[in-house]
Each structure stands twice: as C-alpha cells, then as structure tokens.
Amino acid sequence: MTFTQMPWIDCSAGVMHAEEVSLPALAAQFGTPAWVYSTQALRANWRAFSAALVGRPALVCYAVKANANLSILRIFAEAGAGFDIVSGGELARVLATGVPARKVVFSGVGKSRAEIVAALEAGVKCFNVESAAELHRINTLACGLGLRAPVSLRVNPDVDAQSHPYISTGLRENKFGIPHGDALALYREASDLPGLRVTGIDCHIGSQITAMEPFMAALNKLLELVETLASQGIVLEHLDLGGGLGITYNDETPPSPAAFIGAIRERLDTHPIARKLEAVFEFGRSLVGNAGLLLTRLEYVKHNGERAFAVVDAAMNDLIRPALYQGYHQIVEVAPPPDRPASLYDVVGPVCESGDWLGKNRALRLRGNDDLLAILSAGAYGMAMSSNYNSRPRAVELLVDSGEVRVIRPRESVASMLQAEV
Ligand SMILES: *Cc1c(COP(=O)(O)O)cnc(C)c1O
C-alpha cells in the first residue's frame, strides 16, 4: 500500500518505510514517540509551488510556525524560499540558516518593541502590519534608528474560510488584520509617516482551507484596494496572499499547489496593476504537513465497557491538534498483520486529560503490546505545538533522506527538563 498524499511512505513490503528506511528500525534505534520527516517530500512540496510561479516575480515564503526545526528551515532556504515569521524567536531561527533578511516577512498581531527593533536592524523585507497602533509604533522605532520600515497592511477581507473556527482568521470577528473598510485611510496615514515606506498589501484568511473560492474572494478584495490606492498615487511593490492552503488528512480534496497557483496567477497576470506586482505567499501546512509522521508504540489495550482503547506512548503534549480542534490524522499499523480482522479503538495517550486522544473509532489490526503505529500528516503544527505537559520530555525529530537518517533534534531528557528550574 502507498498513500497518495504521502508518496514517500511505502508499505509494499508489509512494513512501513519512510523513503528507504523501515520504521521499526527507526523505533528500535531512536525510541518512540518519534517525529519522522522526509527530505524528498519537503523538497517536492516546495518545487510544486515554485515551478508554478516560474516566469513571474514571486516569493514563496515558508511560514516558520508550522514546523520551526532549523534543519527543515535549511532545506527550504537552500531551495530558495523566503520566510514568514511571527516572533523574534522565529527571526533568530531564520537568520541562523543564513537566509538574507530581505527574504523575510514579519506577521503577527502583537509585535513587541524589542521584536520590531530586531527586525528593523536585521532589515526584513516587510512588516505585515495588523493595526493602527502597531503602524505608529513601527514608525516611531524606525525614526529612532534613522530607518524607514517597509510596511504592508494586513487587510482582513471578511471572507469565510469555511475552516475550523480556531484556524479561521479572515472574518471581521477575528483578532487579525485591519478591517477592509479602514485600510484606505490607514494607507494614506502610513504614506505620510516619515519612518515608513509602504511596499505592499497582504492578507491571511485562515488555515486548512480546501476550496479555492475563499482565496479568490480575498484576492478580489485586495485587488479592489490596490486599484483605489493606485488612483490615489500609492503604488505598491508586492501583494501577499498569505498561506492557508489545506492538505489531505482524511478525505479532503484541496486544490493542488499547481491548481492553486494557476488560479491566482491567472487573476493577477490579467490585472492591469497586479500583473506588475511581486506575488508573495506564506505557506506552512501545505509545505510540511504531509512530509512528516509521528511514530508511536502501543502500551496497552484496555476496555471500558463497550469501548476499546489503544493507549499509545504519544499524547496531546506531542500532537495537540486532535484535542485542540478535533484535527483528524490517519493512524495506521506500521506492520499490519494481514490475517487479523480489524477492531475499533479510540487511540489515546497517557496524559491525564479526557481530551488526550489522537483518533477516535479507528479500525486497527492490533497484535498486542509494543505494536508500532504511525500517525500520519503530522509534519505541520505537531512538534511545533508540543509541550512538556505531564512532565513528558519532547520527542526526537528524525529527518530521512533516501536511506539515511539524521537526528535533527534529540529527544529531551527528564534531566534537561528539570535543569532550568530552581
Ligand atoms: C500561520 C500563518 C501562515 C501559514 O498558514 P498555513 O495554514 O500553515 O499555510 C501564513 N501567514 C500567517 C500570517 C500565519 O499566521
């Protein structure tokens, strides 16, 4: 069996392999739970976007927050990516890969003074500004440094991304962005401030969006503003449509990267003003989500009345998506016994919360204790959101490349967890 969304996962020999490396071998050598990422998949995902933009000015940024491991950032940096950051910590990570700051856009609703100064001194491509108050703060700090800060206003286009409420960001009721109706006045204000240089416009309407319509609606709202701004003499250099393209976790059918870029490109390239603008994107999930899995081992099977539970050694502190927003992940046996019938289990972790589940009502053919399971589509918002809750050390991160494996973050030890505490 192979997984269409994850061609780097192969099960044809009866045992799952990540690229050419068998998962039981990884578990034996590095223990579980373990994050396993595919270099080939990361590179292929990147190429799918960049190839669709050949011949037009564009910058595909990787949204660091989806998976901030330095080795993963380095793969995208080498491929030519820009980066979308949301904190000073992410700025430091990105600069550590050697990427020039002029390929970095700085998003986020609560940029602190220290973060703004660090980004100004580094010389980022653009601040994606989310409020009038932030605009003025950036202006003041830039003036103090004798600089002009490149700014774009993050417009909230008030479109429904039709995604989970926790990951929808483009509705008026969300905390994100500047209301579409206020943007024009704020652009005029920005263009008069001495510490600012207006360079772009952006939006980001949510995450795990699997239809094209919300993106096109948002793009049309931005283009209206671009036209009005141009008529008032405010000329932009780039248009940033954010990220948010969904992936297949279960049976979703999002547009492919090529179809997504093709539709956006068609609209931009036929627009009298926008065809000259650099197109910027900020993809997170769609670049890394299906390039990673979480490898876990069965600890116990238990029955509470009617319900059967598979208690595994990964938990909500590792992968919080199911607990936080009912995120669905396929869970599969690493070495499925062919002649055993499947039964239904709730796959749960050891954490003391009823919300600590990874999958409900999953058909699994379990042999017994120590079976290995793979939780798929875990490359995005997995390790990045993991914690030490219940004093659980965070898991090891492994990067596979053909037949080779590299530890790109060692498993935390209990000693290292306690070290910083007095
Ligand atoms: C999180 C985020 C992204 C990436 O979103 P994905 O759904 O992972 O593509 C892009 N831009 C901004 C501003 C974000 O906050």
CA atoms within 13 A on the CB side of 11: 15
CA of 371 to the centre of ligand 1 (A): 35
Q: Any idea of the CA torsion for 24, 28, 31, 35, to the nearest 10 degrees?
A: -40
Q: Confidence class of residue 401 from pLDDT cuts 50, 70 and 90?
A: very high
- Which atom of ligand 1 is nearest the CA belonging to 282? 10
CA of 104 to the centre of ligand 1 (A): 14
Q: Confidence class of residue 13 from pLDDT cuts 50, 70 and 90?
A: confident
Out of 11, 61, 143, 352, pick the active-site residue. Answer: 352
Residues 106 and 200: their CA atoms lie apart, in Å, by: 12
| 203 part of the active site | no
Residues 377 and 6: their CA atoms lie apart, in Å, by: 8
Tens-digit pLDDT profile for residues 287-297: 999 999 999 99
Domains in the chain: ranges and CATH: 9-38+290-419 (2.40.37.10), 39-286 (3.20.20.10)
- Which atom of ligand 1 is nearest the CA belonging to 285? 8
Tens-digit pLDDT profile for residues 209-218: 999 999 999 9
Nearest Cα residue to 150 out of 237, 276, 280: 237
Mean pLDDT of 337-350: 93
Q: What is the pLDDT of residue 369?
A: 79
237 lines ligand 1 (CB under 6 A): no
Q: Ligand 1 pocket test: which of 65, 104, 164 has the largest number of ligand atoms within 8 Å of its C-beta?
A: 65
CA of 244 to the centre of ligand 1 (A): 6
Q: What is the pLDDT of residue 166?
A: 64
3 or 169, greater pLDDT? 3
Mean pLDDT of 212-229: 97
Residues 308 and 360: their CA atoms lie apart, in Å, by: 10
Phi and psi based region of residue 234 (left: phi greater than 0; alpha: psi -120 to 50; beta: remaining): beta
Tens-digit pLDDT profile for residues 322-338: 999 999 999 999 998 88
Mean pLDDT of 374-403: 98
- Measuring CA to CA, how many Å separate 287 from each of 162, 282, 332, 365? 21, 10, 22, 31
